[in-house]
Amino acid sequence: MRRMPPARRFPARVIAAIRNGTYFGIRAGRAPHRFIGIWMVEVGGRVFVRSWTMKRDGWYRTLLAEKHGAIQAGPREVRVRARRVTSERVKDAVSAAYFAKYDTPASLKYCRGFARGRRRETTTELVPF
């Protein structure tokens, strides 16, 4: 039986930047495009994002279709690949991470929205490419 190689992980300094930062840039697809500011969370050394609007021509749908993009975490730009998350356990952990990280009164509206329905279903893991 052939063994699968271990999943690639982000360097510790990228994980630290995501854990400690608030807003991050994401660029979806391979075509030149500007970075858009979004929220990201780290759970167990893995990086997750959720989409608020899910626009047809937005970063989320482009990332799902093309599977590749880039993020800005601190001073670094890192190429990423997208993986849809289907595990309810992981989605619960991502919701908890959003509430823990974005805990200001103004942020609660967005955390609640991310934790329910169609926005929760957009949970996407980003892995280095």
Q: Which domain holds residue 22?
A: 12-128
- Going by pLDDT thresholds of 50, 70 and 90, the confidence category of residue 124 is very high
User: Which of helix, strand or coil describes residue 30?
Assistant: coil
Specify the pLDDT at position 92.
98
32-71 residue pLDDT tens: 888 999 999 999 999 999 999 999 989 999 999 999 999 9
* Percentage with pLDDT > 90 across the chain: 84
Q: Does 4 map to a domain?
A: no
80-116 residue pLDDT tens: 999 999 999 999 999 999 999 999 999 999 999 999 9
The half-sphere exposure of 87 on its side-chain side, counting CA atoms within 13 A, is: 8
Average pLDDT over residues 4-9: 64
Burial of 65 from C-beta contacts in 10 A (0-12 / 13-18 / 19+)? exposed
Q: Does 111 map to a domain?
A: yes
Nearest Cα to 115, choosing from 83, 88, 90, 91? 91
pTM for this entry = 0.91
Does residue 125 surpass a pLDDT of 60? yes
Q: Does 1 map to a domain?
A: no
Q: Does 24 map to a domain?
A: yes
* Domains contained in the chain, number: 1
Question: Residue 74: left (phi > 0), alpha (psi -120 to 50), or beta?
Answer: left
CATH number at residue 59: 2.30.110.10
Q: How far apart are CA 37 and CA 19, in angstroms?
A: 16
